[in-house]
Amino acid sequence: MYDMLPDTLVLVMEYMPAANLRTVWKSLSSRAKESLTVELGDILKRMWQLPAPADFIGGISEDMGLALAEKSSENWEFHGQRGWKTDFFRRNLPSALSGHPFKLTHGDLHPANILVELDESGDKSGGNDGNNGNEAQYRVKAIVDWDTAGWYPEYWEYGINVALFPWDGDWIEALEEMIGAFPLQAAMLHMVRENIEF
């Protein structure tokens, strides 16, 4: 957004002719998926090297774990019940969600937010997965929908994908190759989500 006029914000967007990765992912060969996974992993590694702003304050710490537990408690009290999971969260969220370095994170990285284009110059030799050498090869054109981006703990992208989005085929496996697996944190975030949204 740009503040070009007094009391006016302008949002500048650009059209990118590309396919949404969600529409092509299931049809890709294992070799094509691996190629995109490596490319996305390289993009994320470059993002992670960007330092947080000097005035950055915040994070998922003991305070955040306790804040999530309090949200759970409020939810149960609103329904006139005692939330047994709230006690569990108070005991366990602080230690489960703390102690991880912060990295620039998209916060909503799933195939619908990744644009890809056909790679006309790519190697179409077929590899060893049984195709006939005519498989489509794609490359990343853009990652869109950055409204939840920020500096989050290293597990955040994985945890949010596991907790919030439908498991669409082997995407979670590809994500694990890109950023690593954080099953404890993902399970805790999933439990919190279910508890708060019951």
Query: For the chain, which domains are there?
Result: 19-60+100-196 (3.90.1200.10)
Residue 180 backbone zone (phi > 0: left; psi -120 to 50: alpha; other: beta): left
pLDDT of residue 4: 63
Name the amino acid, one letter, at 59.
Answer: G
Q: What is the pLDDT of residues 172-197, one digit of tens each?
A: 999 999 999 999 999 988 888 887 77
CA 112, 114, 120, 124 torsion: positive or negative? negative
Per this entry, what is the length of the chain? 198
Cβ atoms within 10 Å of 130's Cβ, excluding its own: 9
pLDDT of residue 126: 43
At 165, is the secondary structure helix, strand, or coil? coil
Higher pLDDT, 123 or 156: 156
Sheet strands side by side (includes 114-118): 19-20, 114-118, 138-143
Average pLDDT, the chain: 81
pLDDT of residue 57: 52
CA distances to 41, 66, 158, 168, 189 from 108, in Å: 15, 24, 10, 15, 14
pLDDT of residue 2: 56
pTM here is 0.78
